[in-house]
Amino acid sequence: MSYAIIRKLLETQINSVSAGFSTAWENVPFTPTSGTPYQAITLLPARTEGPTFGSNFKRETGILQASLYYPGNQGSQAAYARAGVLIGAFIRGSTFTEGAIKIIIDEHPYIGPALNNGSWFMVPVSIPFIADIQG
């Protein structure tokens, strides 16, 4: 149940900066349009931590991965500008809360190495998070 809420809160923040930008969500049919940029969003859960003893508190950790796809062989400026928008939406210290779940962006989001297969130029943006869950 907690990962459903974690996903909803993080995806809501992605949506807040994605008006008019095509998005491929996990396990939702999506066909990219040739020549049109899009982003693929993936939730990468990591381990569950128990930073306290004797309580109903736990901490979920993970990364929200945004893979930004732009037409190949057209330069990188637009892709890196989009990466900056996403990084700006998840600045270190940001929090997103619903009920007993509080997501904290405890590290700076970062850009990974770009990949180019000729058709698409892809820039990955990784957004580390922790989710504190009480109860």
Range of the domain at 124: 2-134
Q: What's residue 129's pLDDT?
A: 97
CB 45 within 8 A of CB 62: yes
Give the C-alpha distances (Å, rounded to integers) separating 129 from 10, 30, 74, 107, 109: 9, 26, 32, 7, 9
pTM for the whole thing?
A: 0.92
- With cut-offs at 50, 70 and 90, classify the pLDDT of residue 21: very high
Strands (E), 78-119: 95-98, 101-104, 110-111, 115-116
Residue 66 sits in a domain whose CATH number is 3.30.2000.20
How many whole angstroms separate alpha carbon 1 and alpha carbon 110?
28
Residue 42 bridge partners (DSSP): 65
What is the total count of domains within the chain?
Answer: 1
